[in-house]
Amino acid sequence: MPPAPGGAVLRILRQALKSDIQLVRWRDDGTPETVPTTLLAVDRTGLVAVRPDAGLRIRPGEPIEIVLQGGGGRFRGRVRCLGHGQLPSGGSRPIPTLRLSLPSRLEGGERRRSHRVSVGFDLAPTGRLRDPESGKHWLADILNISVEGLQLRSREDNPGILPGDILWLDADLPQPVGLLDRPVRIMNTRRDGRSERHILGVVLMETVPELSEFVRSAEIRRAARLRSA
């Protein structure tokens, strides 16, 4: 049996409710077929999506990959078709549906495709990660920022933060951002080679429009510093 999905997986799936997703199935000749649809429901027993005409070719038990847009970018996960069904539409025709299993994990986050700027050289900002459920929090130095997320270095040794964790990050950044207080997903962690502290890659799960201008301003300051060095 696959492991049960964690809270991070369910949160990302629920963020995609009522939005467009993609189902990727493999034809008998091994080539992929992408089927666009809409995610209708998420619970701890599975997913429900609108069954488009192409969905008739998806058979119960068939493995499928789902692709969805979360707060930190695009995520992918493996599921199985559990069967076909219908939901009331409020009209004369019910909505044809596909019942899918829950993915045990989601891969993704597209921060690697975003331009990052180092901010420690002139701002030296710090942030705080916190777990609203347990009340635990961790201080971290912000190393670089992109419009999709941040790279942090934990202030304490072995913080125990794991990839997939959903935490809240707050930091006081210069304008136009100001106070940043957003949920983030931990994408990767690794030990800092010089200590027991950890480098954390985090993706913002909600967009922050002001970050684009902030990143541009930080890059201009960095370029000016390099020219004057």
For 27-50, how does the pLDDT look when each residue is reduced to its tens digit (9 = 90+)?
776 667 888 899 999 988 899 999
Predicted local distance difference test score (pLDDT) of residue 82: 95
Domain that holds residue 58: 7-108
Predicted local distance difference test score (pLDDT) of residue 91: 77
Nearest one of 42, 32, 36 to 11, comparing CA atoms = 42
For residues 12 and 59, membership in a common domain is answered with yes
Structural domain ending residue among the three candidates 49, 80, 108: 108
51 belongs to a structural domain: yes
Structural domain ending residue among the three candidates 42, 75, 108: 108
| Arithmetic mean of pLDDT, 58-70 | 85
**Cβ neighbours around 117 below 10 Å, total:** 17
Predicted local distance difference test score (pLDDT) of residue 224: 61
* Pairwise CA distance, residues 40 & 145, whole Å: 34
If one compares 193 and 99, the residue with the highest pLDDT of the two is 99
For residues 176 and 118, membership in a common domain is answered with yes
For residues 214 and 116, membership in a common domain is answered with yes
CATH at 212:
2.40.10.220
Q: 149 forms bridges with which residues in the sheet?
A: 203
Rank 46-55, 107-116, 209-218 by mean pLDDT and report only the highest: 46-55
For residues 124 and 35, membership in a common domain is answered with no
Predicted local distance difference test score (pLDDT) of residue 205: 76
2 belongs to a structural domain: no
Where would I find the beta strands (DSSP E) of 131-218?
137-145, 149-154, 166-172, 179-191, 198-204
For residues 52 and 133, membership in a common domain is answered with no
For residues 120 and 223, membership in a common domain is answered with yes
For residues 51 and 77, membership in a common domain is answered with yes
**Cβ neighbours around 69 below 10 Å, total:** 17
Structural domain ending residue among the three candidates 58, 77, 108: 108
Do 168 and 132 meet the contact criterion of CB atoms below 8 Å apart?
yes
Predicted local distance difference test score (pLDDT) of residue 1: 37
For residues 82 and 136, membership in a common domain is answered with no
- Lowest-confidence segment of 6-15, 61-70, 178-187, 220-229 by average pLDDT: 220-229
138 belongs to a structural domain: yes
Confidence of residue 215 (pLDDT cuts 50, 70, 90): confident
For residues 116 and 95, membership in a common domain is answered with no
59 belongs to a structural domain: yes
For residues 44 and 58, membership in a common domain is answered with yes
175 belongs to a structural domain: yes
Is the preceding peptide bond at 125 cis, omega within 30 degrees of 0?
A: no
- Lowest-confidence segment of 59-63, 151-155, 200-204, 222-226 by average pLDDT: 222-226
31 belongs to a structural domain: yes
For 5-33, how does the pLDDT look when each residue is reduced to its tens digit (9 = 90+)?
567 788 888 888 888 888 888 777 666 78
**Cβ neighbours around 44 below 10 Å, total:** 8
Burial 146-166 (b: 16+ CB within 10 A, else e): bbbbbbbbbeeeebebeebbb
pTM score of the predicted model: 0.49
77 belongs to a structural domain: yes
Do 151 and 111 meet the contact criterion of CB atoms below 8 Å apart?
no
* Pairwise CA distance, residues 132 & 128, whole Å: 12
For residues 59 and 84, membership in a common domain is answered with yes
For 115-157, how does the pLDDT look when each residue is reduced to its tens digit (9 = 90+)?
566 665 555 588 999 998 888 999 999 888 887 788 899 998 8
For residues 77 and 184, membership in a common domain is answered with no
